[in-house]
């Protein structure tokens, strides 16, 4: 199963036509047809549904399409990294993360790095922890920002010198906005929106002290942007982290921390024994300097 055949396969699926794929790849239709037949024989499965004039993938074909995209992307990225291996002034750094205020430290590192190496390009993949870890393990990401609880045994990591505070996002005119912090009994009868990451981690169950199913859970979410608008429209109260949604003065929303306090730690992780490009090494070094400065500032404070 060579890379050229996989590229032919991807082009046919994307274009929905062997003829158009042949035009784009500057080859002949019979050549692509032969390659696809050979690919099916080698894989031992049927990749396309027969009996239709359109290109329709079988279940096995859908699986191969996704995996082939990852393989080709990783190969092309490796070729670029090798070509630029000794060039710190250019290259690509791939970072995956869930929503977290600590990403401001990553932003600070990128800003400083680009002042010295403006040709370095950073690419962000946003998703939940499982999605980010899958991309990291496949080699499609250089780094990931993970939140406790996370299995760090197979990764090298840096612990960020900050924690994320969990609380409730609500409307400014909410009765609970008069409180300085939110206790479990304050929200027992309130419609709630909750981050799936917080639910899975178990932090809220421990804080609440009872089964979360006893609460009026209206919906769950991965990212806070849309749920924040729902809170603003009066759908309910959202469990989230501080500073992710705009709750500054002048906003219709406000944030109140939980009582007792619930905080989570964050880490920048990368695969052990991973060979990093010069650009990735420069990024890592700058993150280390940024976190060290943050630690020093905290010590002085």
In which residue are the tokens 């419609």 written? 191
Give the per-residue SS3 of 210-230: CCHHHCEEEEEECCCHHHHHH
> What is the CB neighbour count within 10 angstroms for residue 284?
19
164-263 CATH pick, 3.30.70.580, 3.40.50.970, 3.30.70.260, 3.40.190.10: 3.40.190.10
Label residue 80 by pLDDT band (50, 70, 90).
low
**What does CATH list as the number for 87-162+265-300?**
3.40.190.10
Please tell me the predicted confidence (pLDDT) of residue 253: 96
Average pLDDT, the chain: 86
What is each CA distance from 27 to 21, 31, 273, in whole angstroms? 9, 7, 40
Label residue 270 by pLDDT band (50, 70, 90).
very high
Residue spans per domain, the chain = 3-82, 87-162+265-300, 164-263
Label residue 91 by pLDDT band (50, 70, 90).
confident
For 3-82, give the CATH class. Answer: mainly alpha
Please tell me the predicted confidence (pLDDT) of residue 66: 86
Assess whether the region 3-82 and the region 164-263 belong to the same CATH fold.
no
* pLDDT of residue 74 exceeding 90: no
pLDDT digits (tens, 9 = 90+) for 226-265: 999 999 999 999 999 998 898 888 899 999 999 999 988 8
């Amino acid at each position: 199963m060579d890379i050229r055949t996989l590229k032919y396969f991807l082009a046919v699926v994307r274009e929905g036509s062997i003829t158009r794929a042949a035009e784009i790849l500057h080859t002949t239709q019979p050549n692509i047809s032969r390659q696809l037949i050979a690919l099916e024989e080698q894989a031992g499965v049927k990749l396309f549904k027969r009996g239709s004039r359109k290109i329709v993938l079988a279940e096995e074909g859908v699986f191969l399409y996704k995996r082939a995209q990852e393989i080709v992307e990783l190969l092309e990225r490796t070729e670029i990294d090798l070509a630029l291996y000794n060039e710190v002034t250019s290259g690509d750094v791939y970072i995956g993360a869930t929503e977290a205020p600590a990403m401001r430290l990553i932003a600070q590192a990128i800003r400083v790095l680009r002042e010295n190496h403006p040709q370095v390009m950073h690419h962000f993949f946003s998703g939940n922890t499982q999605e980010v870890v899958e991309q990291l393990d496949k080699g499609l990401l250089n780094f990931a920002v993970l939140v406790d609880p996370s299995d760090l045994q197979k990764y090298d990591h840096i612990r960020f010198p900050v924690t994320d505070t969990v609380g409730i996002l609500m409307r400014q005119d909410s009765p609970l906005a008069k409180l300085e912090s939110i206790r479990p009994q304050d929200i027992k009868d309130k419609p709630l929106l909750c981050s799936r990451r917080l639910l899975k981690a178990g932090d809220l169950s421990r804080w609440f002290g009872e089964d979360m199913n006893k609460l009026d859970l209206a919906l769950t979410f991965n990212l806070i942007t849309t749920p924040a608008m729902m809170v603003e429209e009066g759908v309910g109260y959202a469990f989230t982290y501080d500073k992710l949604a705009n709750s500054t003065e002048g906003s219709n929303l406000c944030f109140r921390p939980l009582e007792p306090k619930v905080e989570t730690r964050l880490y920048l992780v990368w695969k052990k024994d991973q060979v990093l490009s010069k650009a990735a090494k420069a990024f890592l070094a700058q993150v280390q300097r940024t976190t060290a400065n943050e630690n020093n500032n905290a010590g002085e404070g």
